[in-house]
Amino acid sequence: MQTKTKKSPYFYATKVLGKRMYYHIITFGCQMNEHDSEKIAGLLSGEGYRATDDLPQADIIILNTCSVRDKAEQKVFSLLGRMKPLKEQNPALILAVCGCVAQGMKGKIRQRAPYVDLVFGTQNIENLPLLLQEVRAKHRPRIEIIEGRISPTDRHNLVRQSNFKAWVTIMEGCNNFCTYCVVPYVRGRERSRSNREIATEVRELADQGIQEITLLGQNVNSYGSDLAGEVSFSGLLALLNNIPGIERIRFVTSHPKDFNSGLIYALRDLDKVCEQIHLPFQAGSNNILSAMNRRYTREEYLEKVQLLRETVPGVEISTDVIVAFPGETEEDFTQTLDVLKQVCFESIFSFIYSDRPLSQSKIKAPRLPYQTSLARFERLWQLQNQITSEINQTLIGKKMEVLVEEFSKTDPGLLTGRTRTNRLVHFAGDKSLIGRFADVEITEGGKHSLRGQLVF
């Protein structure tokens, strides 16, 4: 969705160059990064740039990076290597790196890829127009990384990806320092936006036709704890639930230690809050949870899930699991499988542990051999595939409300939409349904999505 953008003073300078300028953004990682890319696109549009998918046409290419997994970081450098010929063909091209890898590696990015022109941090997004001007005017690279505040990028300047769904940042950063995670180092400590500011943004989104919002934060459950007199996260949900025009409210991510009964009752009582939650448990053994510094036990996690299932009928739960954390024994891993069996998650995201430069020093136990890690990863997925397939069978014949999003990427003859529980459903239907709610009866349950037919 191209929202109306304000023109900065540099806009006119961009135009007098006599040539239309183009940008291309490549985004890695989580929804927070996707949302940051919307802000970046908005700022560049305000400067007179247009989006392009044709890389040789681009005047600026921005890699918005993720450093949660080692693989994501490796991908950034391999992609930068592939961009080098573009830079050689067009020396005026500005190659920029932002996001968590930029925040964590700072100047080291240019040591590995000296042809990068601009490196900017997660808190520097709003300075992008100025940084670009400096790089162009002074013909020298620029690195700008600051820390410790929410990027105040003007929300009116976003180029949103959807006309009816939107992300809304409610807080940034994390205070938890899980031993495998770089987020507190690259996104800083927790900073919440005021509930008035968030409510104003959501009202404006509703006025623009947005029907579904996803509230973003590294740890939404501790929303407001850094602000005097602010409402709690469940209080914020209650406030947003009253905004006319918004039909669905989602949020990510929740930390099990801060996940409380207040939020469970909010999920039960607030009609627009979708009955779906992502609640990462990471490991089933208390030894490993302690080594990860997660600050909850397996028993506490299972108790909270039980209360959630009893209180919120039909709730679907997804999770994150780390396999082969250093020191993980066969018994520890068996306990992870046991949590999977007890909870029956509708979906999981799992990773084999990899060392992260900023946090790995806290982990003393020996790393597991790759073959052992891979074998455990495969056993985990065998079990989860079986659980998912059994759950999906129980959905056949059920009528579900979907928000219709687009034509299917894999089968353009079908529409796709998402249920309140965030299930992807493919079904035959007319283009006019896109952006609207429809009732679909589930006819088939696949591994990653469902199939259905419209109910009239």
List contacts with ligand SF4 (CB under 6 A).
174, 176-178, 181, 183-184, 218-219, 255
In the complex with ligand SF4, the residue whose CB is nearer, 181 or 216, is: 181
In order, the DSSP letters of 13-69 are: HHHHTSS--EEEEEE-SSHHHHHHHHHHHHHHHHTT-EE-S-GGG-SEEEEEE--SS
**CB 292, min distance to ligand SF4, A:** 8
**CB 252, min distance to ligand SF4, A:** 11
Residues 61, 52: Cα–Cα separation, whole Å: 10
Q: In 324-446, which ranges are E strands? A: 347-352, 399-407, 415-419, 424-427, 437-445
Whether the bond between 3 and the residue before it is cis, its omega within 30 degrees of 0, is no
In the complex with ligand SF4, the residue whose CB is nearer, 145 or 178, is: 178
**CB 396, min distance to ligand SF4, A:** 35
**CB 319, min distance to ligand SF4, A:** 12
Residues 89, 417: Cα–Cα separation, whole Å: 42
Residues 284, 256: Cα–Cα separation, whole Å: 13
In the complex with ligand SF4, the residue whose CB is nearer, 210 or 292, is: 292
**CB 44, min distance to ligand SF4, A:** 28
Bridge partners of residue 167, in order along the sequence: 214
What does each C-alpha distance from 248 to 96, 166, 193, 305, 430 come to in angstroms? 35, 11, 21, 22, 23
Residues 235, 251: Cα–Cα separation, whole Å: 14
Residues 343, 317: Cα–Cα separation, whole Å: 8
Q: Is 422 left (phi over 0), alpha (psi -120 to 50) or beta?
A: left
**CB 75, min distance to ligand SF4, A:** 20
Given a contact cutoff of 8 angstroms between Cβ atoms, the answer to whether 114 and 91 are in contact is: no
In the complex with ligand SF4, the residue whose CB is nearer, 5 or 218, is: 218
In the complex with ligand SF4, the residue whose CB is nearer, 158 or 182, is: 182
In the complex with ligand SF4, the residue whose CB is nearer, 177 or 349, is: 177
Given a contact cutoff of 8 angstroms between Cβ atoms, the answer to whether 405 and 416 are in contact is: yes
**CB 13, min distance to ligand SF4, A:** 39
In the complex with ligand SF4, the residue whose CB is nearer, 176 or 408, is: 176
Residues 26, 123: Cα–Cα separation, whole Å: 18
In the complex with ligand SF4, the residue whose CB is nearer, 175 or 311, is: 175
In the complex with ligand SF4, the residue whose CB is nearer, 59 or 172, is: 172
| Inter-helix orientation angle 298-311/330-343, to 10° | 10
Bridge partners of residue 249, in order along the sequence: 213, 273
Edge-to-edge, what's the strand order for the sheet holding 50-51? Answer: 50-51, 22-27, 60-65, 94-99, 118-120, 142-144
Residues 7, 411: Cα–Cα separation, whole Å: 40
**CB 85, min distance to ligand SF4, A:** 36
In the complex with ligand SF4, the residue whose CB is nearer, 190 or 405, is: 190
**CB 144, min distance to ligand SF4, A:** 24
**CB 175, min distance to ligand SF4, A:** 7
